[in-house]
Structure 1
Amino acid sequence: MRLLVIEDDDRVAHLIGRGFEEEGWRVDLAFDGQMGKRLALTPDHDAIIMDLILPKLNGLDLCREIRQARPDVPILMLTALGTTDDKVEGFDAGADDYLVKPFEFRELSVRLRTLLKRQARQPVGSPVTLRLADLELNVVTHTVTRAGQEIPLTPKEFKLLEYMLLHQERLLTRAEIAEKVWDTHFDTGTNFIDVYINYLRKKIDRDYEPKLIHTKSGVGFVLKIG
């Protein structure tokens, strides 16, 4: 397995690199956004760990470019910023997970292995199109329509809606959504899941009937008709 680490702090980059080399990875290091972009847009790496704040090309813009060119490569974003808005920005840019500095290497390693396991899961015989009422989601083309109108979604909004459609009419707790969609434990100190539910409501429910996303106060959410 080959890993790309994009981190402008030389000490942190080398610590991460040595840690993963001891686990058997081949590791390449990049110390600014432009260098990271040159390496990341090749098909050589199985996963990418990158800092949010980078010189020459900032992490959010870099993440968007990587995600557009390589939609399936796992991206784990590192940052000293840990607010809900910061996390939402990172996920919207295409990051698969988000780890706030300072962190222990052991947690970083576990997070990355979790992302790789999720990527390796390829359900057999799963439907190409998921439907509820006049809402349709195509898992191959990554398109969503309601009443025939295409609705643009960010990568994380798409994954959240896909999970809800796969488990429609079942109550989904915030903890379950955090684990299954974000591969992380729900942090009660942030409300990023509620933020994404609200994003989906505005896009797929606000201008349509019947309403499909329902909240069970204090518990979670249900995708169903009526």
Structure 2
Amino acid sequence: MRLLLIEDDRGIARGIQSRLEESGFVVDMVHDGQPAEKLLAQNKHDLVILDLGLPGIDGMTLLNRFRQTNRHTPVIILTARDELDDRVQGLTSGADDYIVKPFEPAELEARIRAVSRRAGAHGDLPRPEVSVGGLRLSGVDRRIFNGERALEVSPREFAVLELLMLRHGRVVSKAQLQDHLTYFGGDLGDTAIEVYVHRVRKKLENCRVEIITVRGFGYLLQAIAQDAPSAAS
């Protein structure tokens, strides 16, 4: 899942970004209202985390403008403003949730997942386009292609490969994969994750990417250099 974090306090923003990326999210970050508006217009994110006290364009104005053109992408307001009138205005303007600082990172993660589940019930959220080696994740089609050929994968196999592609070059833990797969139902243990990773590996045999097991940590997806032997284990 790709998030856009709009927060003018760079220290707070870096802390949020680090925590969310450890949990398997891809986080783009911006600190000013004007560049934030340009990023929002590109519609490349699954969810927006929005501070209200922004330079350039304040958060409430940004939210109102965004909702004029996009009614589906979830927005969570994250702000120090705790007055009832601010909460009411934020939610009325189109925010899906409102969190007051200071907050616990675990609560923010839980709110992100809850809001995303609710939004998903009303249709597919926009997804990014990601390429690794000759493999391409199509956000529009919700499919993965090897060159021009679509890979035949089950929904859970797709979810495994989707997260590995979104975090390519970085280790993805089994816990992160388990959490990502909860959207498809069921409580999956370590053995089930290993089975799905094995199935995905088999389907990548003719692709220029490989899944490497980083023992004790998780899995890592990377492109294979031309003529280089596979290092998957």
TM range (shorter): 0.5 to 0.7
Q: 1:51 matched to which residue of 2?
A: 51
Write the deviation string for residues 134-175 of structure 1: whole angstroms up to 9, x where unpaired: xxxxxxxxxxxxxxxxxxxxxxxxxxxxxxxxxxxxxxxxxx
What is the CA-CA distance between 1:22 and the residue it aligns to? 0.8
Q: 1:40 matched to which residue of 2?
A: 40
Unaligned 5+ segments in structure 1 are 124-226
- State the percentage of identical aligned residues: 43
State the distance in 2 between where 1:20 and 1:119 align. 19
Give the aligned length: 123
| Correspondence 1:125-136 to 2 at 5 A | none
Residue 45 of structure 1 aligns to a residue whose secondary structure is coil
State the distance in 2 between where 1:43 and 1:78 align. 20
Structure-1-length-normalised TM-score? 0.53
Q: 1:121 matched to which residue of 2?
A: 121
Q: Is the 8 A contact 1:61 1:93 kept in 2?
A: no
- Aligned CA-pair RMSD: 1.2
What is the CA-CA distance between 1:21 and the residue it aligns to? 0.7
State the distance in 2 between where 1:2 and 1:18 align. 14
What is the CA-CA distance between 1:38 and the residue it aligns to? 0.9
Q: 2:88 matched to which residue of 1?
A: 88
| Correspondence 1:1-226 to 2 at 5 A | 1-122=1-122
Write the deviation string for residues 113-146 of structure 1: whole angstroms up to 9, x where unpaired: 00000011249xxxxxxxxxxxxxxxxxxxxxxx
Residue 82 of structure 2 aligns to a residue whose secondary structure is coil
State the distance in 2 between where 1:55 and 1:73 align. 23
Over 2 Å off, 4+ runs: none
Residue 57 of structure 2 aligns to a residue whose secondary structure is coil
State the distance in 1 between where 2:55 and 2:48 align. 17
Against the structure 1 CA distance between its residues 75 and 12, is the aligned structure 2 distance closer, same or farther, given a 3 Å change threshold? same
State the distance in 2 between where 1:54 and 1:92 align. 19
Q: Partner amino acid for 2:69?
A: A
Against the structure 1 CA distance between its residues 59 and 122, is the aligned structure 2 distance closer, same or farther, given a 3 Å change threshold? closer
Residue 5 of structure 1 aligns to a residue whose secondary structure is strand
State the distance in 1 between where 2:86 and 2:61 align. 14
Q: Partner amino acid for 2:39?
A: L
Against the structure 1 CA distance between its residues 48 and 15, is the aligned structure 2 distance closer, same or farther, given a 3 Å change threshold? same
State the distance in 2 between where 1:10 and 1:69 align. 28
Structure-2-length-normalised TM-score? 0.51
